[in-house]
Each structure stands twice: as C-alpha cells, then as structure tokens.
Amino acid sequence: MKALGPSDAFRLLAAEGWLELGNAREAEWELAQIKGRARSRPEVLKARWRVCHAAKKWAAGVEVGRKLIKLAPRDSFGWINRSYAIRRAPEGGVQAAYDALKPGAERVEDVEMVAFNLACYACQLGRLDEARHWLKRAFGVAKQNGRLVECRRQALLEEDLRPLRDDLGSLDA
C-alpha cells in the first residue's frame, strides 16, 4: 500500500497532536482535509476512531472499527475498538460487544488484548469461569511477549475485572 503523501501525512500528524491536546474537534477537521483513498488507510482510520472515542460518537466508532477490520483483519485495533464502541452505543451493550469481539480471538495476530477484553466482557456478564479462561489466555500470551507483569497490573486496575480480583494470582500463565 502506497504511503501517505506529505500533505496527508502532515494532516494526520496534526490530528494526532490535537487529540493529545484533548481537542477532538480540531483533530476531526484535520482528518476531514485528507481526501481520496488516503481517508481509508489504516493509520487514518485509527486516528478517526480516536476522534470518535474522544467525542463519544459511538455509532461512528462502530463503523470506523468495521472498516478497520475489513482492511486489516489480523490487527486487533479494529476488533477491540469496534467492540468498545458497540458496548457504549445505544443499541449495543456488553453482550453485543462480546459477540462482536469473540471471532477476533481466532483471527488476530496480537491476541493478548482481545483475550483481555473478552475476559472483561465475560466478567461483566457474570460468566466468571469464561472470564478466567480468557484472562488466563491473555496472561499466557503476555508471558510469551515479556509483558506478564504489565498485563497482571492492568488486570488489577481494571474495574470490569473486579469480581475476579481475588483470583488473579492463581491464574497461571
């Protein structure tokens, strides 16, 4: 895939800067200046999703996530963030987010955060054994990647996993 041209690369960088400054409106304006095929590039769509998140535009976030999955089905970003938006969209919810994310566990290359998020959703749905299964899988991948300590710390801080907090030490990776 052809790289972004200088003007579009500048617009993307500017949008990311506005997002870091907490100004989703200016970031959205910068992204709107990107024209043609460049608008559909994964890095542009990822920035667009971050704008949707900052502006709490969940339906738009679902659509951007869907496009990302179609373009890059083995990248977890689209899967995770589409589900995140589905959870918050008026017609969504936790079960819908779980159902949308689960196929990603078999398709993505970087499954750690997909499994982690599935654990969160299963936990919130009251399916604690299933949540343990997904969290154990996340820990296993994290261990292989030298990220086990960080993943465990994240699990301890994650409110969605509160019902499993006492079990975290016993989930062998």
Average pLDDT, the chain: 94
Taking the C-alpha atoms of residue 129 and residue 145, their distance in angstroms, rounded to an integer, is: 25
| 37 has a pLDDT exceeding 80 | yes
| 171 has a pLDDT exceeding 80 | no
| 172 has a pLDDT exceeding 70 | no
C-alpha dist (Å) from residue 13 to 6, 27, 43, 126, 172: 10, 9, 10, 41, 41
Structure tokens given for 98: 């779980």
pLDDT tens-digit profile of 56-109? 999 999 999 999 999 999 999 999 999 999 999 999 999 999 999 999 999 999
| 3 has a pLDDT exceeding 90 | no
| 1 has a pLDDT exceeding 70 | no
The pLDDT value recorded for residue 173 is 56
The pLDDT value recorded for residue 169 is 73
∠ Cα 23 85 167 (to 5°): 110
| 53 has a pLDDT exceeding 70 | yes
pLDDT tens-digit profile of 98-152? 999 999 999 999 999 999 999 999 999 999 999 999 999 999 999 999 999 999 9
The pLDDT value recorded for residue 2 is 67
